[in-house]
Structure 1
Amino acid sequence: MQDNRSGWFKSTYSAQNGDCLEARHRTDGAVDLRDSKIHGGPVLTLSADRWSVFATAVKDGALAAR
């Protein structure tokens, strides 16, 4: 993962075409997500429990485009 000063990071597995999500961990255990191309855009915040469910679904391929 690549860290920056604002705490936002994206996985080194992200595509190099710029179509990526960035994330940052919050002190309350939640995770913020945003589009890497729109730094000032909307942020989706997931609780620690919801982040775990989301990350597992991504790893398992449950959210792959069909």
Structure 2
Amino acid sequence: MITAQPVGWRKSSRSAQETDCVEVGRCGDGAAVRDSKHRAGGYFAVSGAQWRSFVAGIRAGRFDA
């Protein structure tokens, strides 16, 4: 279970001026993700291993349409 509060929220540089984005923050050794339009709506957090696996999947094209 992740108990640290997220810090250092940021949007992807690919988002440019778009407002329909997610933000990622550091949360302990993992990451937290929230909707940039509804920041007060909360976030979900994953462990460092889960986040690294997700990012590796993106880089490998596993989520491409």
Give the shorter-chain TM-score range: 0.7 to 0.9
- Larger relative contact order (Cα-Cα within 8 Å, sequence gap ≥ 6): 2
Alignment correspondent of 1:52: 52
Q: TM-score, length-normalised on structure 2?
A: 0.74
Does the C-alpha gap of structure 1 residues 34 and 57 become closer, same or farther in structure 2, counting only changes over 3 Å? same
Q: Identity percentage over the alignment? A: 32
Which is richer in helix?
2
Which is richer in strand?
2
Q: Name stretches of at least 5 consecutive residues in structure 1 with no aligned partner.
A: 1-5
Read off the aligned partner of 1:56 and give its amino acid letter.
Answer: A
Alignment correspondent of 1:63: 63
Q: TM-score, length-normalised on structure 1?
A: 0.73
Q: Name stretches of at least 5 consecutive residues in structure 2 with no aligned partner.
A: 1-6
How far is 1:19 from its partner?
1.9
Q: 2: CA distance between counterparts of 1:24 and 1:58?
A: 18
Structure 1 stretches of 4+ with a deviation exceeding 6 A read none
Matches within 5 A, 1:7-22: 7-14=8-15, 16-22=17-23
What root-mean-square deviation, in Å, do the aligned CA atoms of Structure 1 and Structure 2 show? 1.6
Read off the aligned partner of 2:55 and give its amino acid letter.
Answer: A
